[in-house]
Amino acid sequence: MADPVLLSVDGHVLTITLNRPEQLNALSRKAMTFFEKTVRALGDFSGVRAVIITGAGRAFCAGGDLIGFKRAIDVDKQALLDELAYNQTILQMIEDIPVPVIGAANGVAAAGGLELLLCCDIVLAAKNAKIGDGHARYAIVPAGGATVRLPRKIGPANAARLFYTAELVDAETMRDWGLVSEVVPGDKLLERAQALASDIARGSPEVLRRIKKLISARAGEPVTGLAEIGQFAEHVNGADLDEGLRAFIEKRTPDY
């Protein structure tokens, strides 16, 4: 059987592709385990400065594996709860990836697929993509962190609408609401994601990691500059800062 998650590295960019197209890339236990191994292995890809997450086929991710849920409930309800807790841990690991993560929604992203997009720093979406939360339709309580992350991304009212109606919303609307950064023709989505990742990768890898840490730490909290000064204090003796300033003075492109 094909691996449920595929990896490819091009320069400083790592691409993670959900690879269960026949199941609309539903997040099985095996897929989540592959995600865990991938995230834990990021340290082995020392040159990675940006990550892209996308899906194979016509869907980004249609959510959790509800067939597997039903089997688990019939056999051992506690095992299902343990599975959901595990999935939430993996999603948090994805959000905590220390470099910028781009979600490239090539098609439908619902429930667990939405939860995965919410863990990305930047979301690009194909014009035909539909995004929403389908938990209520199938009597599933959200358990991947969406009730915390979604209101922060699109506001409480829009989040409530998605949760309560279980509707799928078009990519342009999601751009207007603030979840999607850019809507791209479907056949250009991965190319655009790769170009954006390459633009990011040209920046200082030390600063990229520090900015991500600052953004993540301040989510939902009052803005204060103290954390920024703390990060700069740690950064001031780094090689990237010296190279960046020298390149500016010498009017050349930095070599990080």
* Structural tokens at position 3: 């691996």
Helix/strand/coil for 104: strand
Catalytic positions, please? Answer: 115
For 147-160, b/e burial (b = at least 16 CB within 10 A) is bebbbebbeeebbe
Grouping H, G, I as helix, E, B as strand and the rest as coil, residue 9 is strand
Q: What are the structure tokens assigned to 120, written together?
A: 């990305």
In order of 21, 44, 69, 173, 239, the CA distances from 47 in angstroms are 30, 9, 38, 36, 15
CATH architecture, domain 5-201:
Alpha-Beta Complex (3.90)
pLDDT computed for residue 158 by the predictor: 98
The CA R_g of the chain, rounded to the nearest whole Å, is 19
Token pair for residue 190? 């991965």
Please tell me the predicted confidence (pLDDT) of residue 175. 98
Cα–Cα distance measured from residue 14 to residue 36, given in angstroms and rounded to the nearest whole number: 15
For the chain, the domains span 5-201, 205-250
Cβ-based burial of 20 (10 A; exposed 0-12, middle 13-18, buried ≥19): buried
Per-residue pLDDT of the chain (256 residues; tens, 9 = 90+): 689 999 999 999 999 999 999 999 999 888 899 889 988 888 666 789 999 999 999 999 999 877 777 787 788 888 888 888 999 999 999 999 999 999 999 999 999 999 999 999 999 999 999 999 989 988 888 999 999 999 999 999 999 999 999 999 999 999 999 999 999 999 999 999 999 999 999 999 999 999 998 888 656 555 456 677 787 788 888 888 888 888 888 999 999 9
DSSP string, 13-78: EEEEEE--GGGTT-B-HHHHHHHHHHHHHGGG-TT--EEEEEESTTEEE--B-HHHHHHHHHH-HH
DSSP of 167-202: -EEEHHHHHHHTS-SEEE-GGGHHHHHHHHHHHHHT
Half-sphere exposure of 219 (CA within 13 A, CB side): 17
pLDDT at 188: 98
